[in-house]
Amino acid sequence: MINLGSHPQWHALFESLGYGVGYWIYRRERARAGDVLDDSGRWSVIAGAVVGGLVGSRVLGLLEQMPRVGIAWGQVLMPGGGKTIVGGLLGGWAGVELVKAARGIRSRTGDLFAVPLCVGIAVGRVGCLLAGLPDDTYGKATGLPWAVNFGDGVGRHPTQAYEIVFLALLGVLLHELGSRPHREGAVFRWFMAGYLVWRVGVEFLKPQPLVGGLDAIQWACLAGLVWLGVEWARRYEVSEYA
């Protein structure tokens, strides 16, 4: 068992680093590969992603925590706690689609964000791992040799570390995909598909309250995958993704 302890003071630092590193990689990729949008269009899309991400992260976070700690909807705008990456991704995606519809943008605009999101989330997960018990992202108790003691003497699945490894592999695959000829929007959609499927699976290792056999994040992931499937079926030929 690995004795790590809980160090919540590191969470904000690595979360900020995740945002910074992700944005730096996005800027580099945009300069290298170009952009289907001009500066005005891109910043409007980013604004939609940020606003939608904040709302989605908070709403799903509250849905996840309500059964355990009794958080009320009146706390939706209060700082601290009750945030989820899945909610942020789905909310950000919805926010972008709303902005694009309002501005008449028909291009698929997410490819430049796929690899930066992998890196940014992975860096942020380092903070989650160091934060330990207060962060509430740890896994169930286990006797595996790599179980982590976050300070209470219980060895748990380090699900944060699992996600860091997964995101590193996913980022490499998406970088390779983006370097080859591909349909516009395909890289981002493969990112979303990969991450949502991952979260459906890894949530089974976490001690979350279940509704119908799944927790709130898993239900949100399945809804996102259905949405993604409808988008793929509507926009692309099935043979192109065989």
pLDDT in tens, 9-52: 999 999 999 999 999 999 999 998 888 888 889 999 999 999 99
Question: DSSP state, 168?
Answer: H
* Highest mean pLDDT (candidates 22-36, 82-96, 115-129, 205-219): 115-129
Residues 6+ apart with CB under 8 A from 78: none
Average pLDDT, the chain: 89
pLDDT of residue 212: 84
Q: What local confidence, expressed as pLDDT, does residue 231 receive?
A: 84
Find out whether 164 and 130 touch, Cβ atoms under 8 Å: no
Distance CA 28, CA 109 (A): 16
Q: What is the pLDDT of residues 101-114, one digit of tens each?
A: 999 998 888 999 99
Provide the whole-model pTM.
Answer: 0.89
Which of the two residues, 218 and 239, has the higher pLDDT score?
A: 218
Angle 186-202/85-103 helices, nearest 10 degrees? 150
- The mean pLDDT of 165-178, rounded to a whole number, is 96
| % residues pLDDT > 90 (the chain) | 70
Query: Residue 116 class from Cβ within 10 Å (0-12 exposed, 13-18 middle, 19+ buried)?
Result: buried
Mean pLDDT, residues 79-99 taken together:
86
Residue 71: is its pLDDT beyond 70? no
What pLDDT is recorded for position 182? Answer: 84
* Contacts of the segment 80-87: beta carbons below 8 A, 24+ positions apart: 82/58, 83/57, 83/58, 84/57, 84/60, 84/217, 85/57, 85/121, 85/124, 86/60, 86/196, 86/199, 86/217, 86/220, 86/221, 86/224, 87/56, 87/57, 87/58, 87/59, 87/60, 87/61, 87/217, 87/220
* Residue at 210: amino acid letter: L
